[in-house]
Chain A
């Protein structure tokens, strides 16, 4: 079956541009996570959705970062006025469980963002 897909796979932006990164989770998965992975580092949590509700956005590094999941399926991570320090791989993961139940998170291949 289809896994988590992300688009675009690669994005180059000039400093100051806005970007939008898309995540298509596994069908029926309730939970959706965004992580940021800098070069040579492990993924770091950004935000978490349960269906369409954003339950945790404590990892978003600044108010330039915004995420939504309006119909409880596809999610978009938007970064406004990109900066060089935003260059990283942005990973999306989905999980069938809710916050009260630990279940496996399935990761997409990531979007590699490079800000020039």
Chain B
């Protein structure tokens, strides 16, 4: 079993929908949680970054971390076709050299 589990999708939604993306993890030592977006044939780019449990909002994006359940989420409001990409959750330990442990990624398509 992988340390970080993520439903690979694909997930297809109409424009304007609210999208919910999720990851579960098994290592309780993870402290920093990130969401990356990866367009086809590009490298991942950081969307959101959260330390420990709680919520963080940035424009149309909200990240949630529930450490007691080892569960993290990313919500996208008013989804746009330009949001079509693969979304990767990632996490890291404190003092672990910052190496990231990624989920498999969820492929999202927002249709007109």
**By the criterion CB–CB under 8 Å, are B104 and A107 in contact?**
no
Residues 81-103 of A contacting B (Cβ, < 8 Å): 91, 93, 95, 97, 99-100, 102-103
**By the criterion CB–CB under 8 Å, are B46 and A104 in contact?**
yes
B22 at the interface (CB under 8 A from A): no
Q: How far is the CB of A7 from chain B (nearest CB, A)?
A: 14
**By the criterion CB–CB under 8 Å, are B41 and A109 in contact?**
yes
Residues 53-112 of B contacting A (Cβ, < 8 Å): 88, 90, 92, 94-105
A51 at the interface (CB under 8 A from B): no
**By the criterion CB–CB under 8 Å, are B104 and A55 in contact?**
no
CA distance A100 to B98 in the complex (A): 8
CA distance A106 to B34 in the complex (A): 13
A interface residues, how many (CB within 8 angstroms): 31
Q: How far is the CB of A91 from chain B (nearest CB, A)?
A: 6
**By the criterion CB–CB under 8 Å, are B46 and A44 in contact?**
no
CA distance A35 to B94 in the complex (A): 19
**By the criterion CB–CB under 8 Å, are B6 and A42 in contact?**
yes
Partner of B97, one of A41, A44, A48, A104: A48
Q: Beyond A41-B105, A43-B102, is A102–B97 a contact (Cβ under 8 Å)?
A: no
B45 at the interface (CB under 8 A from A): yes
Residues 15-74 of B contacting A (Cβ, < 8 Å): 32, 41-46, 49
